[in-house]
Structure 1
Amino acid sequence: MPDAKSTPAGSPQGKENVDRKVHGESVGLPSFYSPRSRPIHEHDGALATRLDRLDRLDRDELSLSSLALTPTSTSASTDDANPPLPPPSLLSPAFTPPATPGTATPSPAAEHQPHGVPVDSSIPSGGCGTKRPRLLETLPEVQCIVRARIPTVSGTEMFLHLYTNNVDSKEHLAIVFGPHIRSQSLDAPREGETEMDRMVRGAYTGRLYPGRTRSGMVGGSSSVDNDPEEVVTPSGPPLVRIHSECYTGETAWSARCDCGEQLDEAARLMSLPSAVNGGIVIYLRQEGRGIGLGEKLKAYNLQDLGSDTVEANLLLRHPADARSYGLATAMLLDLGQEEIRLLTNNPDKIRAVEGPNREVRVTERVAMVPLSWKGKGGFRSREVEGYLKTKIEKMGHMLDMGGLQ
């Protein structure tokens, strides 16, 4: 009888040995694999009994609700004691879209900001990667055209800033946490506008309310309207996430990537009471690492045919990563941020975000650790494990547990 060491990993016996190692003290899998959830066995008596009881209660509630919704049937197969159940929901809980900021994992008030590693892109050993990304000679021109307060279901409030620019026709976004972070281009007076015009486009201090007549910025003070601006004194740079649009991961419940989870976790961290310096998510409309949604879906088909995410892009005659970050740099400067803490696993992004002349300086890199690795929910799938593995091995991402320190 072969032992565990000589059994091939792909065989049923090998799979059983791998599972046994995962559930034991020593895990023999590579670091980019998340620990698998442990199945409930018969000896887990108390937990199994409780789950079975809850399952029966759920079935009973469905049965009671079906009495009022299901019309009386004359079929001989209908049993009055066991009325037919209504059809199951079209959306399984396993395919629930990423949670609203702050709701995925309830955070205690005492939770601190994530640990950051100091970085300095001006020296080779500064922790900013070995690559030198191609940078624009001059930064794009950006303008924030409207700002609006967004209350979330978790109680957190944020401000959504909509930007236009002189290099593409897309509308990029800045999701801002903290009332002290303001856009210079939005607040600047515009010829011929009224106080109502300023309030409608979001250039006001304090809060809007029915009957307010002044923006508090031009021709008077907000104190006239009994609505003073909230004064916040930051003690350091804000936490910043440069996030590229991902329709499949953020809207279509895709488990091929962790983009939706990363966006959600970034917003949660910036919503913590300890985030006194505020936070900014720069949301760039560069789908599929810059190749667009149509080409990205073609790349998915190539991945199903055996390629990884980098190989698929190259087979479609695209770069492995076609994104640009000049717009992010310009937007950060417009928001008055010359020093930031960058939430990323990609060290090469640090130099790219800083701009051609280091107009913005990244002082710390904060790791974005998958929630499943921290034991705080998240999700696991074969596709996302391969995706993370490729980012580590081929794209140089530092996907480690540094954020837990």
Structure 2
Amino acid sequence: MKPKVDDLVQTPIPTRHGEFILHYYSNTLDDKEHVALVRGKVDGVEHVPVRIHSECFTGDVLGSRRCDCGEQLDMAMQMIAERGAGILIYLRQEGRGIGLLKKLQAYNLQDAGLDTVDANIHLGHLADEREYDIAALILESLQVKSIELITNNPKKIEGLQKLGVDVAGRIPIVASAHNDNLDYLKTKAKKMAHMLFERKKDND
């Protein structure tokens, strides 16, 4: 049976970046509560700016400076608001898919000297276990024709394309680097091929 999502509830959510419509989805793949924040008209539209954001309780809710997740979430909402239309899909796959408990254990391993990738592997996981099937199904549900993905992660683009999503372009989203997250960002760039620390051209 083909996996599917059902758009069960839509409700307006006023934010500091303006009003979005929050869509609550059920699905046949897991028992998690995935949602999408939608701004403006997206059905039948090409080049819709889309951020697929994986849950990060420590960064998104607590404002942890160990990562760039919370800042990226806020930046993505602002980008979508400035464009007048777009989608932020919030997937409940904490800690690159390993869950909150293992993520916090990984934090302690990082404090002992391992980087984020090696810490996940030490705990018996892959460096990144996230999947994007539900995101692709949500985009299909919203009848988006093509997207511009707000990301620095080339594997996210490849994953969506394999699922049949027309990724027409990429919008970089580079958060600030500081002492608390610099090693984290360097590991993403070096070991996970994230497009960070790119040198700008003189005319940029």
Equivalent residues in 2 for 1:175-324 (5 A)?
175-178=37-40, 180-181=41-42, 236-272=46-82, 275-276=83-84, 278-324=85-131
Instruction: Rate the CA distance shift 1:402–1:339 in 2: closer, same or farther, 3 A.
Output: farther
> For the residues of structure 1 that align with 2:199 and 2:154, how far apart are their CA atoms?
15
Aligned equivalents of 1:382, 1:139: Cα separation in 2: 46
Contact 1:139 1:330 in 2 (8 A): no
Q: Give the C-alpha shift of residue 351 in structure 1.
A: 1.7
Q: Which runs of 4+ in 1 moved over 4 A?
A: 401-404
Q: Give the aligned residue type for 2:38.
A: V
Paired residue for 1:327? 134
Distance 1:139 1:389, change over 3 A: farther
Aligned position for 1:152? 15
Tell me the equivalent position of 1:389: 186
Seen in structure 2, the aligned counterparts of structure 1 residues 398 and 153 have a Cα distance that, compared at 3 Å, is closer
> Which residue is equivalent to 2:27?
165
Offset at residue 395 of structure 1 (A): 0.4
Query: d(CA) in 2 for partners of 1:238 and 1:294?
Result: 35
After TM superposition, the structure 1 = structure 2 runs for residues 342-353 of structure 1, keeping only pairs within 5 Å, are 342-353=149-160
Residues 401 and 325 of structure 1, relative CA distance in 2, 3 Å threshold: farther
- The structure 2 residue matched to 1:368, chosen from 165, 173, 177, is 173
TM superposition shift of 1:139? 6.0
Given that 2:47 and 2:169 are in contact with CA atoms closer than 8 Å, whether structure 1 keeps it comes out as no
What amino acid is the match of 2:99? G
Letter in 1 for 2:100: L
Indicate the SS of the match to 1:241.
strand
Cα distance between partner residues in 2 of 1:283 and 1:143? 15
Counterpart for residue 77 of structure 1: none
Q: Against the structure 1 CA distance between its residues 255 and 317, is the aligned structure 2 distance closer, same or farther, given a 3 Å change threshold? A: same
Matched, 1:141 2:4: yes
CA deviations 1:109-142 (Å, max 9, x no partner) are xxxxxxxxxxxxxxxxxxxxxxxxxxxxx86310
Provide the secondary structure at the position in 2 that maps to 1:310: helix
Q: Distance in 2 between matches of 1:369 and 1:391?
A: 12
Deviation at 1:393, TM superposition (A): 0.5
Percent identity between matched residues is 49
Q: Secondary structure at the match of 2:105?
A: helix
TM-score by length of 1: 0.48
Change (3 A) 1:386 1:243: same
Equivalent position SS for 1:383:
coil
Aligned residues: 202
Q: CA deviation at 1:381?
A: 3.3
Instruction: Write the letter of the residue equivalent to 1:387.
Output: Y
1:244 and 1:284 in contact (8 A); partners too: yes
Contact 2:149 2:167 in 1 (8 A): yes
CA contact (8 A) 2:56 2:94 kept: yes
Q: Distance in 1 between matches of 2:200 and 2:142?
A: 29
TM (normalized to structure 2)? 0.92
Give 1:341's match in structure 2, choosing from 119, 137, 148.
148
Q: 1:284 to 1:157 in 2, by over 3 A?
A: same
CA deviation profile, 1:265-298 (whole Å, cap 9, x unmatched) = 00001111xx14x110110000000000000000
Aligned amino acid, residue 161 of structure 1: H
CA RMSD of aligned residues (A): 2.0
Q: Deviation per CA, 1:224-261: give whole Å up to 9, x if none.
A: xxxxxxxxx96x42100110000000111211100000
Change (3 A) 1:149 1:289: same
Q: Which has the larger radius of gyration?
A: 1
Q: CA, structure 1 residues 401+329, in 2 after alignment: closer, same or farther (shift >3 Å)?
A: farther
